[in-house]
Structure 1
Amino acid sequence: MTLLVSWIGVDDKKNGKSVASLYIASDSRYSWGKYGKYDYGIKVFGSTRYPDIFGFCGDVLFPSIVFGQLIPQIDSGLIFNDSDIGEIKNKKFCDFLRTSLESYPKEQLAGSFTILHGTRISKEFKCYKTTYSTLYGLKNIEIRLPSFSTKVCSEGSGKNEFDKNFAIWESEKHNNHRTSRGVYHCLITTLNNIKDLQTGGKPQIVGLYRVSNMRLFGIVDNGQKYIYGKESSENIFSSTVEWRNENFERVNPETMKLFTGAQRQPI
């Protein structure tokens, strides 16, 4: 079922604290029980035209098919409008999901699934969680975003291990208590030591800031670069995405070191 995590970064403004960033991250493993695994599976998505990001866990095939159809249509301007508020965009997404599900053979669904939808209207961030099970069908809720940096949701078969580890970062004595990077540290720690066989591979992350649309993050680990869990050994144009190391620090993809003047973060 994998591990799906979302968190926010909050900063201080003149009118008080406000959300400055929203992230959705996952591991990269597709698994078929004892029949095999694939650690390059895409589980997070985003629009280049609108500030909307998504991630899923649970059943693999149906959500993959849905996002393969949904994202190109969003980017082509066929589903969302510039005037849509967050609730409207989320409703349109749920309607798209529901009509797709109606035609899908239910016997081919490998259990339940959960989808997170993050969006931003002007400077206001929203996050929604949609779940499906054969018993309860589709359910959708808005996740309340607090006024401090923290995890806002964790789902999947790796959730228990992640939440147990995150209790360490939630301690007020921890250097990264209530920081965005603290959630990422916990994600890395969990994936590096995961016992759940359905969870594995490198992390993959999409995010939203106060400006622009989806940000895709590349991962630097032990001197290697990864995109969507796959090592980028090909001659890619690395400067087109942000690269983060194990401390969630911005890294120059050419030198594999912190950008000049970047402040190191406590572990």
Structure 2
Amino acid sequence: MTTLQSWIAYSDTGESPQLPRAIYIASDSRITWGSAKHRWEAGRKVFAPREQPHLFGFCGDVILPALVIGQILSAIDSGVLFAQNASATDRHDAIFKAVKRAVDRAISTPTSNFTIHHICRESVWPQTTFRAWDIFFTASERSCTSHEIAVPLTTDLVGTYGSGKMSATQHHQKWQLSDAAGRSRALLASFCDSIKLGNDPLSGGPPQVAALYTKGPPVQIGMIVEGRRFLNGMEVDIEPYLSNIEWRDSLGQVVEPITGDPLPGARRFARPKKLQKPIET
């Protein structure tokens, strides 16, 4: 059923600390059939176009939202879903319309409830703004609704979803009581803890993460977990070209993909002493 979470990051150093520096979306990689006994640990749940500043994630039913998001990404990349100069509101409206049309084409399918979480960068630096929406499908009514989510004005969660929401919230609260409170790295680290500890049996596998920064295209972030490398839930081999993308570890450190060590000049983080290292279940 998924653990899906998003958060926004600000910086208290440098110019314009009131402006956000990044927005992230993260998910687990477990897809289940009826129970955790029947599962796949490498399912993609976080998506982004190649160039346009959008991020997507989903929870609930798997088949319909995963396929629809794929269609939407193709339409965005092809430049046929909305005008290049369309506002963030108009872009989301076009995306919502595409989801509704797709749902209307599902005839007598066993589709369950699902949520698609959509994030968009509206303006680039130095007027950086991010916006977020939820699209809900209610199976009993075969209908979709959409509403915009308020984006926090300080580093904080934007939204938490799925069967793992309670576990993710509990780990978030623990990290916010540590000396890492209020830091973006604490949000990623607490998310990774919630997945690794296995409190929600329907969430698991490696975390998958993507980001929008103050400018440029979306960034797919590789994750190093227990010495293994994953991108969008898929394990990848050690190769020289892994450095083509950004890599993080479970503490949020920006790392070198082959050694797993923090990149030169990157900030180093340590797990707060009051938070013991999680043991995988």
CA deviations over 1:114-135 (Å, ceiling 9, x no partner): 1111111222111111111124
Q: Distance in 2 between matches of 1:75 and 1:236?
A: 28
2:15 aligned with 1:9? no
TM-score scaled by structure 1? Answer: 0.93
Residue 236 of structure 1, CA deviation:
7.3
1:238 alignment partner, SS class = helix
TM-score scaled by structure 2? Answer: 0.89
1:133 to 1:240, Cα distance in 2 relative to 1, 3 A: same
Residue 106 of structure 1, CA deviation:
4.3
Give aligned pairs, total: 264
Which residue number in structure 2 is paired with residue 214 of structure 1? 218
Q: Which amino acid aligns with 1:4?
A: L
Q: Distance in 1 between matches of 2:262 and 2:240?
A: 20
Which residue number in structure 2 is paired with residue 21 of structure 1? 22
Tell me, yes or no, if the aligned pair for 1:176 and 1:266 is still in contact at 8 Å.
no
- Structure 2: runs of 5 or more not aligned: 272-281
The CA RMSD measured in Å over matched residues stands at 1.7
- Structure 1: runs of 5 or more not aligned: none
Equivalent runs, 1:160-239 vs 2, <5 Å: 160-171=166-177, 174-233=178-237, 235=239, 237-239=241-243
Which residue number in structure 1 is paired with residue 86 of structure 2? 84
Q: Distance in 2 between matches of 1:50 and 1:223?
A: 32
Tell me, yes or no, if the aligned pair for 1:44 and 1:204 is still in contact at 8 Å.
yes
Q: Distance in 1 between matches of 2:159 and 2:171?
A: 14
2:140 aligned with 1:138? no
CA deviations over 1:161-204 (Å, ceiling 9, x no partner): 11122122233xx2121111111111111011123221110000
Identity of aligned residues (%): 29
CA deviations over 1:8-43 (Å, ceiling 9, x no partner): 101246555121111111000111014611111111
The 4+ residue runs of structure 1 with deviation greater than 3 A are 12-16
Residue 141 of structure 1, CA deviation:
1.2
Tell me, yes or no, if the aligned pair for 1:175 and 1:266 is still in contact at 8 Å.
no
Tell me, yes or no, if the aligned pair for 2:59 and 2:162 is still in contact at 8 Å.
yes
Residue 255 of structure 1, CA deviation:
2.9
Q: Distance in 2 between matches of 1:101 and 1:69?
A: 13
Tell me, yes or no, if the aligned pair for 1:206 and 1:215 is still in contact at 8 Å.
yes
Q: Distance in 1 between matches of 2:270 and 2:239?
A: 32
1:160 to 1:7, Cα distance in 2 relative to 1, 3 A: same
Q: Which amino acid aligns with 2:2?
A: T
2:50 aligned with 1:45? no
